[in-house]
Amino acid sequence: MTVDRRRVERLRADLLQWYDANRRDLPWRRTRDPYAIWVSETMLQQTRVETVIPYYERFLERFPDVQSLADAEEEEVFSLWAGLGYYSRARNLHRAAGEVAREHGGELPRSAEALRGLPGIGRYTAGALASIAFDAPEAIVDGNVIRVLTRLYGIREDVGGKEVVARLWREAERLASGERPGDLNQALMELGALLCTPRSPHCLACPLTRSCDARQQGDAAELPKKAKKAAPKRLEATCALIERRGKILITRRPERGLMAGMWELAGGDLLSDAGETPEAGIRRALREHTGLVVKQVTLAGKVSHAFTHRALRLFVFRCDAEPGRVRLNGPQAHRWVRPDALGEVPLGKATRKALALLEVATEERA
């Protein structure tokens, strides 16, 4: 055995020993069901563990297997996903379940290559599923793993660079090659989550301290190196609470684009560059997108919401509309919904913030 391979084996042994003694008791670690692991890995993308747990448990209670998810209506899937964000994950999970049910007999493919052929499953998720569910020696590289590996091996170049990305995958593949690849991959992620944290890493408690280049050089907190992110694009939009006979008008967004397929209060983008005021904007948006003409407009306030690359400021109104039918131009569908039934509809976080604002405004007026 070469010196290099002996080092990898020592690292694997130290990681697995630490993981066995320190891993968190998480619901998806109590099962070997590939479907349940798939759901968890999809939900955990860019989302904190403590946020995911209740969603994961509710989702599996309603959709306990691939077939039940494949048979569901997309809107019901969205309603259970609402609040997790990144709704394309839910859409792809639903689409992939249909494909697995039709073409694979309801059983997930076992190889990473075959898994990557399913909607929404990329290199990371395929490696996670293949290693954790099927014990295949496949690597994973996510934010936690990048942090651990750049510090461990002293990688001080921009981690977004093509050559650096390739090296990170090579190092991860070497570590995954051996017994218990799924546990090894989870150990890397767990180490990044619990000890090798972005700020103030707990180096003294780390099982890899003696082997860590960044620890020896004293720059662990400065790694990984990342190019500065571009400032998020600023958006301004309007929405309105319109009631008729005790029901609220909501519209469904198009199937493509930001918040695709989600329901929201009627409204639209504000033409800020053209100097449009929020009040003029809501009147225009309602007229253009729903065919409704409003006779009274009251600003309830505004809410802010951050998307991955966008920062939204949403002006929230109460409006009285003239009599007339809704004629959509842009939104995919509309509904009149009782206020107490809004919780059953897949609404985005920005809309939920707007409704909370309206509720507070109502209480203050009462």
Q: Is the pLDDT of residue 317 over 70?
A: yes
Calculate the CA dihedral of residues 107, 110, 113, 118 and round it to 10 degrees: 20
Please enumerate in sequence order all residues whose Cβ is within 8 A of that of 186, keeping only pairs 6 or more positions apart, or say none: 19, 23, 29, 132
Tell me the torsion sign for CA atoms 198, 203, 206, 212.
positive
Residue whose pair of structure tokens reads 């571009």 in the numeric block:
230
Q: What share of the chain is helix, strand, coil (3-state, %, to 5)?
A: 50, 15, 35
Please enumerate in sequence order all residues whose Cβ is within 8 A of that of 330, keeping only pairs 6 or more positions apart, or say none: 254, 268, 288, 289
Residue spans in the chain of domains classed CATH 3.90.79.10: 233-365
Q: Is the pLDDT of residue 186 over 80?
A: yes
CA distance 171 to 194: 21
Q: Of 342, 315, 320, 352, which Cα lies nearest the Cα of 239?
A: 315
CA distance 60 to 97: 13
Residue whose pair of structure tokens reads 């007229």 in the numeric block:
287
Mean pLDDT of the chain: 94
Percent of the chain with pLDDT strictly greater than 90: 82
Q: Is the pLDDT of residue 363 over 70?
A: no
CA distance 45 to 205: 27
Q: Is the pLDDT of residue 91 over 60?
A: yes
- Catalytic residue, candidates 9, 41, 279, 363: 41
Strand, helix or coil for residue 53: helix
Q: Of 148, 167, 144, which Cα lies nearest the Cα of 157?
A: 167
Comparing 349 with 280, the larger pLDDT belongs to 280
Strand, helix or coil for residue 232: coil
Q: Where residue 166 falls among pLDDT bands split at 50, 70, 90?
A: very high
Q: Where residue 346 falls among pLDDT bands split at 50, 70, 90?
A: confident
CA distances from 42 to 48, 65, 128, 315 (A): 12, 15, 10, 32
Here the tokens at position 88 are: 């394309």
Average pLDDT over residues 182-188: 98
Q: Of 18, 36, 15, which Cα lies nearest the Cα of 27?
A: 36
Q: Is the pLDDT of residue 364 over 80?
A: no
CA distance 240 to 317: 5
Residue spans in the chain of domains classed CATH 1.10.340.30: 3-222
Specify whether 279 is catalytic.
no
Exposed/middle/buried for residue 188 (C-beta within 10 Å: 0-12, 13-18, 19+): buried
Alpha carbon of residue 233 to chain centroid: 19
Average pLDDT over residues 78-96: 90
Q: Cβ distance 282 to 323 under 8 Å? A: no
Average pLDDT over residues 275-298: 95
Q: Which CATH architecture has domain 3-222?
A: Orthogonal Bundle (1.10)
Q: Which CATH architecture has domain 233-365?
A: Alpha-Beta Complex (3.90)
Q: Over the stretch 220-249, which tens digit does the pLDDT of each residue have?
A: 999 999 988 888 899 999 999 999 999 999
**The pLDDT of residue 362:** 64
**The pLDDT of residue 153:** 97
Percent of the chain with pLDDT strictly greater than 70: 98
Q: Over the stretch 141-154, which tens digit does the pLDDT of each residue have?
A: 999 999 999 999 99
**The pLDDT of residue 125:** 97
**The pLDDT of residue 1:** 56
Q: Where residue 365 falls among pLDDT bands split at 50, 70, 90?
A: low
